[in-house]
Amino acid sequence: METDSSRARSGGVQSVERAFGLLETMADHGGSMGLSQLATASQLPLPTIHRIVRTLVDLGYLRQEPSRRYALGPRLIRLGESSSTMLSTWARPQLTHLVDELGESANLAMLDGDQIVYVAQVPSRHSMRMFTEVGRRVWPHCTAVGKAVLATLPERTVREMLQRTGMAQQTEHTITDPAEFGRELTRTAGRGYAVDEGEQEIGVRCVAVAVPDAPSKLALSISGPATRVTDDLVARAVPLLTRAARDLSEQLSGQARA
């Protein structure tokens, strides 16, 4: 028999689930949305959304902009920094194994709003290597990790993101045409990995795979000079990256259940 206290706990858990669901929805839409947009995306009643949003504003996890839209708030920064540190710790064994096997720098990156942020790296042992600072933010359309993540998202979500961010040309190789980029994502999804052919930095080649079933949109990659990241190395790297991504996914799932 359900008691008043058990019903209260159930309602409390549901409110927590809805609150985190709204925060994740906003993150997936660039970090800022109006109430009507939230209602459409979450399929929750407006009064429910308004009540949850006001609570999140009071707690500092959301803020209201002059336009009356709501944006992710500064109190989330501390949580994000802590979770990034833990992600780096959990991913280090996989990244180290990739460097040992392939010789090039290994990276873990995450989609954060409309940008890709690097959250972990193990550098190559070569004297000439790629330095990607942890915390560095880049646009997803010109990176292998970005392509790998975007290839897992609905087409409409990707289209809206590119409309918000534009497709700035970082190098002469950057894909700046939405239709061509869509075809690139189709190729990426079909073969299970993405490649950056000097699209972020001239002379740098990267290959990446998405981390499946992760709580955040994550991708693992290796990167190095194009002279060393040959087609043969890419062929060797893909199965190793895929296995590392699967292992990391299982580890993250286990942490979430713990």
* Domain range summary for the chain, segments of one domain joined by +: 14-72, 79-255
Residue 242 in tokens:
């895929």
Superfamily holding 79-255 = GAF domain (3.30.450.40)
pLDDT value at 21 more than 70: yes
SS3 (DSSP) at 122: strand
pLDDT value at 133 more than 90: no
Class of domain 14-72: mainly alpha
pLDDT digits (tens, 9 = 90+) for 31-73: 888 898 898 888 898 889 989 999 999 888 898 888 889 888 8
Cα separation, 138 vs 116, whole angstroms: 5
Answering whether pTM is above 0.85, one says: no
pLDDT value at 161 more than 50: yes
What mean pLDDT is reported for the chain? 86
Candidates 162, 204, 169; CA nearest to 185 is: 162
